[in-house]
Structures are given as C-alpha cells and as structure tokens.
Amino acid sequence: MKKIFTVVFLVFTHSVLAQTKTLPGYYINLSSDTVTCQISFKDWAINPTEIKIIDGKRTITLGLRDMLGFGVSGKTHYVRKTVTYHLNPLSGLLIPEQFSDSVITKEVMLKIVRRGKFQLYELVLPERDYFFIENKNKEIAELIYRVRKSDVELIEDEQFKQQLYRYLVEEGLADSYIWENNKITYSAEKIGKIVNYINGANSSNQIQYETVKPGLSIELKTGAYINFFPTQLQDPRATMVKLPASISPSLGLDLIFALPGKFQRAGLGLGVSYNHIKVNFTQKDSFLTTVSPAYYFTTKYNYTYSSSIPTLFTNFFGFFVFNPTKKVKFFMTAGLSYHFTLKKQNGVDESYQSKEEGVQNGNIPFIRYQESKRERVDIVNGWFNFNTGLGCSFGRHKLNFTYVIPSEVTARTNQNNNFTIGNAGLFYHFEILKNR
C-alpha cells in the first residue's frame, strides 16, 4: 500500500509542478511529412496521447489518429506504434501469485530511448513502465519483465535479458558482454547501454532528432485545359462572332517547395505542362439580295476560323494551405504563367467561300464564286498570364483547379484584330518523389 501511495504521489506532484513551455519542434503528419511547429511542452511523466501545437494565437490539439510522431527540439521524440504487452503489475496489492499471461495490443506513442540498427522504446503508463525493441527487420517486441509474489518474496521473470542476449549473439558480441547483460535491471539506462553495444558504431546514446528541412517534392499531373477566347472577331459579313472554347488534354510536372515553419502551410512551386490551343469554327448561311425586279440573286457562303498552337505552359506560383493539420487539406494558389509556343508562326486563319446565283437584266442567269484566305490574327510566340486556383490534397494525391486570366496575344495590334486567350485547368496530381 505504501508503494502505491508513493507512485501516485510522485506522479501527482510531477504533473502539478511541471511547467508547460512553448518550444520549437515538429510533428509527422499522416503523409509522413515532417512539419515544423511550436509545441506546448510538458516533460511528460506518462506517455502522451495528444499534443498541443501553437498556430499564431490558436492552439490545435493533435491526437494519436492525427500524426505518426512528434519531437521537441533538444528534449524528446515520440513515434506512434502498435504494440502488444503484458498486463502483469510490478508493485502494490495487485501483484499476482502466478505470472500473468494477459496481454493487450494497443496503438500508443512510444518514447525513443536509443536509435540505431536496433531501436529502444519506452512506454510509461500509470501502472508501470515497459520497454520495446525494434530489430533490423522493423519488427517490434516487448522486452518482457514480470513479477509474482510468494509467501516471503517477489519472484522475477527477466525474459528481457534472454531477448537482449539473443541480439548480442546475432552481432557476435555475446562473449564480451554476457556478464554485464546478466546484471542489468529493467531501466532505460541499463537496457540502453546493452542496446548501444548491439548497435556498435551505429549506436546513439543521445536521441538523434530529425533535422527539419524545407519540404521538396515532385508531382506528376494529368488533366485538361479549357482554352477560351473572350475577344470577338468581325467576320466577312461584318458581324461580330465569338470563337468557341476548346479542350486540350495535358500532362506535366510540378516541383513543390514547402517553406519551413507554420506547419509548412505556405510554399512555392514551378510547373510545366503541355497545352495545345486549337480553334476550328465554321459558319454557314445564305441570303437573298434584290437590286431590282430584274436583278436579284441568292448568296450562299461559309467561312472557317482555324488555329493550332502547341505550347508549353510554365507556371511559377505560391500556395497557402488553410488547414495543414488535417488529413484532407484545402489550399489556394496564385502565380504568373508563361506560354512558350512550339511553332514559330502562330495565328488564327480565316477561310471564306461564297456562291452567288441569280438573274440579271430580267432573263440572264448568272453564277459567281468568291474565295479568300488570310491570317486573321497574328499571335506572338509567347505570352504571360496571371493565374489563381483552389484544390485539396490527401496523402500523395491532389486535385487542383486553376483559372488563367485572359491576356492579349496579338503580334500586331489594331482596332480590328486585338485578340485574347485565357485558360482553365483541372488536374490530378500524384507525388512521385519527396524529401520532407
């Protein structure tokens, strides 16, 4: 009873006296990205199930399901793992008379004690401490320590020593450290020392914190552009016409640079994609012209506007993520784009054909044909546009809509042939490479 009271008193005293500080650190989100942030740090006596991060004036709570791990710079590091461990108590009135085989499998935040080929973790619960070791194959197991009571003493089950000894044998170190291994107790310091021997040159007595770097990734994107032409043209019949929009399938790459700090909610990007701007518009009609009762004719005509401009659409943009701590993130973009045309001569061509058939001087029928071709609009070999967009991302997947503001593209401007082109794109992105 005295031991139980002592443990409860120490835990209570620690929780009361421990001061909460805001310290720099990071968490690992569900996409395995390391996100820098400020963490409300409390030197946790018991492994935490949630942390509080500071976003400006807001405090955001992240639970087990919201992250894969976190670290406080210069202090500690935790990683989320699913482990199985025995429920055998080590002190108090609940110590069994037989070793308990009851186990539980649970997802927890484990504190990293040693790094290397073999990693040592600690789990501190209100009932007792546990240690786990992860081998070179990334298999994690409890270092088992149990006790039972007899009439006169406590009997210990120190399986953790045999477990560590097997790893010493695997590394060819059993002869050198067998006696020291037999004398260790179930504590971070003693077990950590043996794990250091097992790791050899790769051992780390201190926790090695991950260096938080700016996020760099490459995304493959596929989708389509809708190219539209706001400017109206005057057709051969002196009527203003608006060319219909066209669709171009597209494939491209984006290089994304997420800025450190503020949960990597802001960053820059450079993208390139293919966009084939096409125009193919035909108009047909007929009308009757009456000059006098003896002179009249019917005109049938058609004209076509056509253009084919293959381009590389390059875009330098910035982005801002509205909810960087969520699993599904929403973001906006804004940037400056440039269309590189892949042909030297670009324009909108006009082709006109007509047939006049009628009567002249009362009884003399006639047929007249007319045909003409010309470049209606001369287009420059490259032009700038401003653009903005919205999208959402989930893990390595992203869906993005971009609107490109129309821009003047005519090479020789006058009142008859000013011409603008704008675009809108819908793309699916897949992150093929990342370093963050």
Tell me the per-residue pLDDT of 300-318, one tens digit each, with 9 for 90 and over.
Answer: 989 999 999 999 999 999 9
Q: Which residues of 52-86 are buried (b: 16+ CB within 10 A; e: fewer)?
A: bbeeeeeebebeeebbbbbbbbeebbbbbbebebb
Read off the pLDDT of each residue in 57-61 and give the average, rounded to a whole number.
84
Q: Which residue among 157, 178, 202 closes a domain?
A: 202
* Domain stops at, among 170, 202, 234: 202
Its pTM stands at 0.64
Mind listing the pLDDT tens digit for each residue in 246-280? 999 999 999 999 886 556 678 999 999 999 999 99
Per the domain annotation, does 80 fall within a domain? Answer: yes
Cα(122)–Cα(106) distance, rounded to whole angstroms? 14
For residue 292, pLDDT beyond 50: yes
Residue-wise pLDDT tens digits, 305-355:
999 999 999 999 999 998 877 778 899 999 999 999 999 888 899 998 989
| Token code pair at residue 128 | 């007792």
pLDDT band for position 431 (cuts 50, 70, 90) = very high
- Rounded percentage of the chain residues whose pLDDT exceeds 70: 89
Q: State residue 262's pLDDT score.
A: 59
Whether residue 387 contacts residue 401, with contact meaning beta carbons closer than 8 Å, is answered with no
- Domains: count for the chain: 2
- Shared domain for 223 and 190, answered yes or no, is no
Between these two residues, 97 and 151, which has the higher pLDDT value? Answer: 97
383 in the same domain as 296: yes
More confident position, 219 or 30: 219
Average pLDDT of the chain is 86
Q: Is-contact 274 252, C-beta < 8 A? A: yes
What pLDDT sits at residue 181? 93
| Rounded Cα distance, 84 and 107, in Å | 9
Confidence label for 205 from pLDDT (cuts 50, 70 and 90) = very low
Same domain? For 195 and 228 the reply is no
Q: Which of 93-97, 379-383, 422-426 has the highest mean pLDDT?
A: 422-426
Distance, in Å, from the CA atom of 320 to the CA atom of 99, rounded to the nearest integer, reads 56
**374 shares a domain with 294:** yes
Quote the distance between the C-alpha of residue 175 and its chain's center: 49
- Note the pLDDT of residue 6: 45
CB 143 within 8 A of CB 131: yes
Q: Please give the pLDDT value at position 233.
A: 87
Q: Are 225 and 130 in a shared domain?
A: no
Q: Which residues pair with 203 in a beta bridge?
A: none
pLDDT of 374 reads 87
Q: Say yes or no: 195 and 220 in one domain.
A: no
pLDDT score for 1: 43
User: Measuring CA to CA, how many Å separate 82 from each of 40, 68, 85, 141, 395?
Assistant: 25, 11, 10, 10, 21
pLDDT value, residue 400: 96
Question: Which of 152, 181, 202 finishes a domain?
Answer: 202
At residue 42, the pLDDT reads 79
Query: Could you tell me if residue 419 is inside a domain?
Result: yes
Q: Are residues 396 and 335 in the same domain?
A: yes
Residue 45: per-residue pLDDT:
85
266 and 334 part of one domain? yes
Sign for the pseudo-dihedral over CA of 358, 364, 365, 370: negative
Same domain assignment for residues 120 and 64:
yes
Question: Picking from 9-13, 94-98, 198-202, which range would have the lowest pLDDT averaged per residue?
Answer: 9-13
Cα distance between residue 380 and residue 191, in whole Å: 72
Residues 412, 358 share a domain: yes
What's the pLDDT at 209?
A: 42
37 and 71 belong to one structural domain: yes
Q: Which residues form the domain of 242? A: 215-435
